[in-house]
Every structure is written in C-alpha cells, then in structure tokens.
C-alpha cells in the first residue's frame, strides 16, 4: 500500500463512481451517490505524502498526485463538501446531475493533487464542462442563457491558460508544477490570467454572479465550493507574493459587498459575496508571507463550509416556496425556523462573529496585511466585513424569514429530511472550527503563530458587529429590497449587445440573401451554357425559342479548332 504506483488518486474514485452510477437501480443509486464521495474523503486521508501514479501521455509524463500540506488541506475540504453536497442531494432523481456533481468534484480534487501543469489543466477543464450542466439542468430560459455566458468565460480562460502552458513548455522543456514569478515572462502572465478568470477577479467575474443564482438548488451548493477555491489553491501554489494579487484581492472584498447589497435575489447576494470572500484569499496570496498564505488556505477552508451552508439554506427556501426574490419573500420564520437557525450559523461564520469559523480565518488575512504594514488593504478588508454582516447576516434573513407577514398565496412545500441533515452536518463543523481553531491551524502549510481570541481583536470585532447591527435597525426601511435588475459590468455586453447583435444579424442575413441570389443566377447561367458550351451566352432560351441540338450544334471546323488549341497548350505545359 506504500508503493505510490499502487495508489488510486481520490479524483479517480469519484470518476469511477460517476461512470457506474447510471447502471444502478434507483434504490441503490442514491446510497451509492453518498458512498462514493465518502470513499474519496477516506482516499484523501490515506493518500501518502509525495508523488505517485505517473502515466505517459504522448511526449509527456503526467503525475496524477502530489500530496503535501497545502494539497491536503484543500483535498480534505473538497472531498468533505462533496460528501455533504451528496447528502443534501440524496433525494435527487436526476442521474445526470448526480454524475455531473461527482465529476465536478473529481476535477477539483484532480487540480488539488496534480503534480504537473498538464494534469492540472486536464482537471481544470473537467471542472468547467461538468459544472456547466449543473446550471443548464434547471431547464429555464435564464439558466440556458447564463450557462452559455458561463461557457464562453471558461472556454476563454481555458484557452488563455493553455496558451501560457505552451509558452512555458517552449521555454522550460518541462511542465513541472512550481511557483512562478513576474520575471518568467508572458507565459506566467497568461497562466495567471487564465486562473484569475476562475477566481472571479473583477472585471472577469460576471460569470459567477450571473450563473450561480440560476443553477439548480443542489447544483449551486457544489458550484459555491469548487471553481473559485480551486483557483485560490493554484494561486497559492504558483503565484505567491505577486503584488498585483494584493491590489486585486483587496478591491474584490469591497466590490462584491457593494453589489450584494444592491441585489434582490437571495442566491445572487451570496454569489456576490463569493467574490468578496475570495478577495481575502487572493489578497493573502498577494502578501506572500507565511501568515498571508496560511490565511488564504484557512479562509478557503472556512469559506467552503459556510458558503455551502448558506446556499443550502437559500436552496431550501427556493425548494419550499419556488421563489428567490427578497421582494417576494418574508414571514417564513414559522414554517422554516430550522432552516433559519442553521442559516444563521453560516451567516455568523461569514460575518466573522466569534466562536464561528470565519472569525478564525478571515482575521488571519487581515492580521497578515497589518503585519506587512499594508494599512490600506487592512482598511478595505475591515470595511468589507461591515458590508458582509449587513447584507448576509442581517438584510437577507430579515427580509426572507421576517420583515412582513407571509404571502397568503404562498404555499410551503415539504422539505426532504436529508437537506436539513446536511445543513446540520456542515453547521457543526462551522462551529467546531470556530471554538477549536487549532484543528484547522494544524493542517496549514506553515507553522501558525496567531491567536484569534486576543482581547484587542475581540473588542474590535464586537464593536464592528454592534455598530453594523444598530445601523441596519435604524435604516432597515431604506434597505428594503426593490424589484429591479441591477447590471454589473455585464451591462457592457447586455445593453449594447442587443442592439449590436440585431445590427450584425441583419447585415449578415442581408449578405447571405445576396449570396443566395448570386449563386442562383450563376447556376442558371452555367446550366444553360453547359448544354452547349459554344453557344453564344447572350442567346436566351425560352418557350418561344426552345433549346435545339441541331440549331446550336457547332460546326466541325469549330470542334477541330478547339481541340487543336487544347493540344498546343498541353504540349507547351509539358515542355515547360
């Protein structure tokens, strides 16, 4: 078992399960869907440190797994959330969605344990195409359109990534996975650009806020966990200390919060907060210090837990009511009180409330910025914390579960038990890591010298939370949601895009119509000419003057002359 060549990479456990799933009976399928990610989680735990499972692909040797402290922390949380997501989806009858979610999780694990750039890229693209189905599977007009836009972004990102790998291989003659620097030339910048698209760094972020709210109820849980966090893993592994990431990440923290406050869709709010929270991770990578990289890894771990729980909670609301707009919800606290309780654990976690896991990870990145004397970055992150608690911890639950009486015409659908069981499982770990931060800190890639429960930090956090709560309560009427569509940078291709598309389609249609007429006239002319090539082309054939072989028969002199000319031309070409 210690022989690396005999080890099955965890990603292949999920791939094998996805391939077997369609052949099982309905009664067995749901349980098998649950067992497969459990097997992958065990596989991550028993996977030996080091490299193994090398295979040859053409001229390249692929290393299918490379395990160290960094890949372990991401591998554990990816496998666990695949298990929690499978439990949340236990009632699902759509085999295609089950297979897609397993393959999507396999892509994330494959990226995490990849030992070379080519292996990483193969699993990177696996994530892109399998996650797309979780959007389209909702089978609405909006989800189809959002899925196509999602596909365009990820196809673009994958193409840029691949171009960078080609340049990297030309320069180094190998595809070893290692840290790059800005001095490595265009290859490193192209790879970085391909990665930051998946990390949803503005202005390359609109695919996330556009697609995630339109995914299926269960699919959104998987989407919230894998794509952006796999990108964070690659950033930590390949681009530590890149200054541009500190700037981009710090801006992300505030950018996502601003648009979340304006959003009316409950899952749209959470989607924008993915951008904000990933900003902390990206900024930590940009700092490049041990504290910053530890903070990025720890916050990715925490974020996957509480963000999945948030999407589970809002997914229950959507499943029960069929509605996702704040303006259409309210007064659900009696019917969905357990959902509210479990949701608030996630809301407290993302808001950095003490005793919950967001508090022990987000503060590490902020402390790293302070330690590196990047006061401006620390200020932006603290400002984003206010907006996070305001929108996810206060506004969303208030106008979803409270705020007004429930609509009398709203019927509440019974929720499958497994959805709440999954939420309870994830909520337990959100609380466990909050009260026992050492359980997470011992997994991080560098030794941790940080105490989150210091008195100054506790006082600062309580002050921020208290004043945010007071501000919300005093201004809750002004913060009431409005039935509106708020366009982000996607305005650049949505509003002008309709007019430009109409113009281009009209012109293209006119060109093809002209081409069709020209082709028709040409064919008619050629058809008449082929009947008798020596006939004068201006002599028209009509019912009054029909075609006659005798009338247009060429003379023997004309035929001999043509043959002679052809013979002379052939002789000349032969001599040349």
- Mean pLDDT value across residues 174-189: 90
**Residue labelled with tokens 């609405």:** 140
pLDDT score for 502: 55
pLDDT score for 1: 44
In the predicted model, what is the mean pLDDT of the chain?
Answer: 88
- Mean pLDDT value across residues 301-309: 97
pLDDT score for 270: 95
Measure the CA–CA gap between 97 and 74, rounded to whole angstroms. Answer: 24
* Residue 265 DSSP SS3: strand
Q: Is pLDDT above 60 for 112? A: yes
pLDDT score for 573: 79
Q: Is pLDDT above 70 for 495? A: no
51 within 8 A of 70, measured Cβ to Cβ: no
Of residues 571 and 425, more confidence is placed in: 425
pLDDT in tens, 444-459: 999 988 999 999 889 9
Q: Is pLDDT above 70 for 498? A: no
User: CB within 8 A of 26, min separation 6: which ones?
Assistant: 93
Residue 493's CB: how many other CB atoms inside 10 A? Answer: 15
Q: Which of these, 132, 121, 273, lies nearest to 194 by C-alpha position?
A: 121
Measure the CA–CA gap between 38 and 24, rounded to whole angstroms. Answer: 18
- Mean pLDDT value across residues 300-313: 97
1-15, 44-58, 325-339, 399-413: the lowest-pLDDT one: 1-15
Of residues 480 and 305, more confidence is placed in: 305
Instruction: Return the bridge partners of 157, or none.
Output: none
By CB neighbour count within 10 A (0-12 exposed, 13-18 middle, 19+ buried), where does 337 fall? exposed
Token readout for 106 is 């396999």
- Mean pLDDT value across residues 296-310: 97
175 within 8 A of 149, measured Cβ to Cβ: no
pLDDT in tens, 508-520: 667 777 788 888 8
552 sits in which H/E element? helix 549-552
Of residues 405 and 321, more confidence is placed in: 321
Cis before 203 (ω within 30): yes
pLDDT in tens, 129-160: 999 999 999 999 999 999 999 999 999 999 99
58 within 8 A of 169, measured Cβ to Cβ: no
* DSSP codes of every residue in 113-181: H-SBHHHHHHHHHHHHHHHHHHHHTT--HHHHHHHHHHHHHHHHHHHHHHHHHHHHHHHHSS-B-----
pLDDT in tens, 313-358: 999 999 999 999 998 898 898 899 999 999 999 999 999 999 999 9
Q: Which of these, 107, 99, 132, 128, lies nearest to 11 by C-alpha position?
A: 107
pLDDT in tens, 423-451: 999 999 999 999 999 999 999 999 988 99
């Amino acid at each position: 078992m210690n022989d690396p060549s005999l080890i099955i990479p965890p990603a292949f456990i999920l791939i094998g399960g996805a391939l077997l799933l369609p052949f099982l009976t309905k009664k067995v399928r749901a349980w098998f869907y649950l067992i497969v990610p459990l097997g992958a989680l065990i596989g991550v735990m028993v996977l030996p440190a080091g490299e193994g499972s090398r295979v040859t692909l053409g001229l390249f040797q692929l290393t299918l797994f490379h395990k160290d402290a960094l890949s372990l922390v991401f591998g554990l949380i990816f496998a666990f959330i695949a298990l929690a997501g499978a439990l949340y989806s236990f009632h699902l009858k759509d085999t295609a969605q089950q297979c897609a979610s397993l393959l999507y999780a396999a892509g994330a694990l494959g990226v995490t344990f990849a030992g070379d750039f080519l292996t990483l890229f193969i699993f990177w693209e696996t994530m892109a195409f399998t996650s797309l189905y979780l959007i389209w599977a909702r089978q609405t007009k909006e989800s189809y359109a959002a899925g196509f836009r999602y596909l365009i972004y990820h196809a673009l990102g994958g193409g840029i990534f691949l171009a960078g790998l080609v340049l990297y291989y030309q320069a180094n003659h190998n595809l070893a996975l290692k840290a790059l620097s800005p001095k490595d030339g265009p290859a490193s910048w192209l790879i970085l650009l391909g990665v930051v698209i998946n990390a949803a760094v503005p202005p390359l972020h609109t695919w996330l806020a556009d697609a995630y709210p339109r995914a299926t109820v269960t699919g959104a849980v998987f989407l919230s966990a894998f794509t952006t966090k796999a990108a964070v893993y690659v950033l930590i592994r390949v681009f530590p200390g890149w200054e541009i990431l500190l700037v981009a990440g710090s801006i992300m923290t505030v950018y996502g919060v601003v648009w979340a406050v304006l959003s009316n869709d409950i899952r749209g709010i959470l989607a924008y907060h993915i951008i904000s929270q990933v900003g902390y991770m990206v900024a930590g990578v940009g700092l490049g210090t041990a504290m910053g990289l530890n903070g990025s890894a720890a916050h990715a771990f925490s974020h996957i837990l509480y963000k999945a729980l948030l999407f589970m909670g809002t997914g229950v609301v959507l499943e029960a009511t069929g509605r996702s707009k704040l303006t259409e919800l309210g007064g659900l606290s009696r019917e969905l009180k357990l959902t509210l309780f479990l949701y608030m654990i996630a809301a407290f976690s993302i808001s950095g409330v003490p005793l919950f896991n967001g508090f022990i990870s987000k503060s590490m990145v902020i402390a790293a910025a302070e330690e590196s004397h990047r006061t401006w970055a620390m200020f932006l992150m603290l400002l984003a914390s206010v907006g996070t608690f305001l929108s996810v911890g206060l506004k969303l639950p208030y106008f979803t579960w409270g705020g007004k009486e429930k609509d009398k015409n709203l019927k509440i659908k019974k929720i499958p038990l497994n959805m709440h069981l999954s939420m309870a499982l994830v909520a337990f770990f959100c609380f466990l890591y909050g009260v026992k931060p050492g359980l997470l800190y011992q997994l991080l890639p560098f030794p941790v010298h940080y105490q989150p429960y210091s008195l100054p930090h506790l006082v600062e956090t309580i002050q921020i939370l208290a004043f945010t709560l007071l501000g919300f309560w005093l201004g809750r009427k002004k913060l009431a949601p409005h039935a509106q569509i708020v366009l982000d940078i996607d305005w650049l291709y949505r509003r002008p895009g309709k007019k430009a598309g109409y113009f281009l389609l009209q012109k293209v249609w006119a060109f093809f119509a002209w081409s069709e007429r020209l082709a028709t006239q040409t064919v008619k002319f050629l058809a008449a000419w082929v009947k008798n090539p020596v006939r004068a082309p201006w002599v028209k054939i009509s019912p009054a003057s029909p075609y006659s072989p005798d009338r247009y028969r060429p003379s023997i002199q004309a035929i001999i002359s043509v043959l002679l000319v052809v013979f002379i031309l052939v002789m000349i070409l032969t001599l040349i």
